Amino acid sequence: MLNSLGHPDTLLLVGGTSEIAASIAATMARRRPLHVVLAARPSSRRSAAANVLTGLGASVEVVDFDATDIPRALEDLRSLLARTEIDVAVVAQGRLPRQSDLENDPVLAVETCTINYTAAVAVGLLLARQMREQGHGVIVALSSLAAIRPRRANFVYGSSKAGLDAFYTGLRDQLRGSGVRVLVVRPGFVHSRMTRGLKPAPLAVTPQDVADAVVAAVPTGNGTVWVPRAARPLMLLVRTMPGPVFRRVGL
C-alpha cells in the first residue's frame, strides 16, 4: 500500500537492470525503507543493481525474467505475486537494435517486438489481475515519444512502443475504479545504456529526469507522463503534421 505521502513499501522492476528503472528505485529508496524485486535476466549487471539498492538501505529480491521466454517469465512472476503484494510495478524491459539490422533480420525484429511489446502485454495483464484483487497498485509502463509517430529511421522499435503505449492506455481505462492506476511514461531521448553511441535528439533527458517525473506522478497520477514536459505540445504537432512535411522535417 502507498503510505500517506504516496510512497510504496514494495516496488517491482520488470527489466530490473534498466538504467531508468534503477534511477526510479534509487530515488524511492532514498526516501523510505523499500523492498525491491528485480525481475531480470541473471547477469553481473543484475547483481550490481541489487548491490546499489542494498547500499541505499533497500531489501532486494531477484527473480529471473527473460522476455523472450514468456511462459517461463509469467510462471516466475505469478509465484512472486502469490507471495508478495506489489505496490508499484515498473515495466521497463526494452531493446533498441539498429534500424538497418532490424530491416535485414526479421527474426531480430520479431524478438525486439516480443521484448518491447508482447512481453509487456503479458506482464501487464498479470499485474492488472493481481493488483485488482488486492484493490490497489500502480503500474508504470515505459513507453516512448517514438510511440507517437514512428519514423522512417526507427519504425520497428517505434511500432513496438506504439503497441505498448496503446495497450497500457487501454488497460488504464479498464482498471478505472478498481484502485489500480496506470502511468504511461513517454520519455524522449534518454542518455542511458540503450542510447550509448547515438546522437542525442533535441530535448534529451537523463534517467534521473525520468525517475523524478515518475516518482512525482506515482502518489496520485493516472495518466500520461511526458519527459520532458515540453515534449507534449511538440509531439501533438508532430502527430498532426501532414506526411510529406513529416518526412521532409526528418524528425
Ligand X SMILES: NC(=O)c1ccc[n+]([C@@H]2O[C@H](COP(=O)([O-])OP(=O)(O)OC[C@H]3O[C@@H](n4cnc5c(N)ncnc54)[C@H](OP(=O)(O)O)[C@@H]3O)[C@@H](O)[C@H]2O)c1
Binding residue count for ligand X, defined by CB under 6 A: 27
Neighbour tally for 109: CB within 10 Å: 19
Q: Which stretch binds ligand X (CB under 6 A): 52-60, 91-99, 130-138, 217-225?
A: 91-99
Q: Which residues, numbered 39-68, are part of the site for ligand X (CB under 6 A)?
A: 40-41, 43, 45, 65-68
Please choose, out of 37-45, 52-60, 123-131, 239-247, the segment that lies near ligand X by the rule CB under 6 A: 37-45
Cβ nearer to ligand X, comparing 58 with 119: 119
Q: Please choose, from the candidates 94, 92, 98, the residue with its C-alpha nearest in 3D space to the C-alpha of residue 112.
A: 94
The residue (of 65 and 226) whose beta carbon lies closer to ligand X is: 65
**What contacts 88, CB < 8 A, 6 or more positions away?**
2, 8, 10, 11, 12, 28, 137, 138, 139, 140, 218
Closest CA to 164 of 180, 186, 181: 186
189 binds ligand X (CB under 6 A): yes
Q: Under DSSP, is residue 224 helix (H, G, I), strand (E, B) or coil?
A: strand
Minimum distance of ligand X from residue 5's CB (angstroms): 26
Grid cell for residue 194: 540503450
Answer yes or no whether residue 37 interacts with ligand X by CB under 6 A: no
* 102: contact with ligand X by CB under 6 A: no
Binding of ligand X by 17 (CB under 6 A): yes
Active site residue 157: yes
SS3 (DSSP) at 141: strand
CB 201 within 8 A of CB 228: no
Which among 65, 157, 189, 226 is annotated as catalytic?
A: 157
d(CA 214, CA 127): 18
Which residues are identified as catalytic?
157
List contacts with ligand X (CB under 6 A): 15, 17-20, 40-41, 43, 45, 65-68, 92-95, 115, 142, 144, 187, 189-190, 192-195
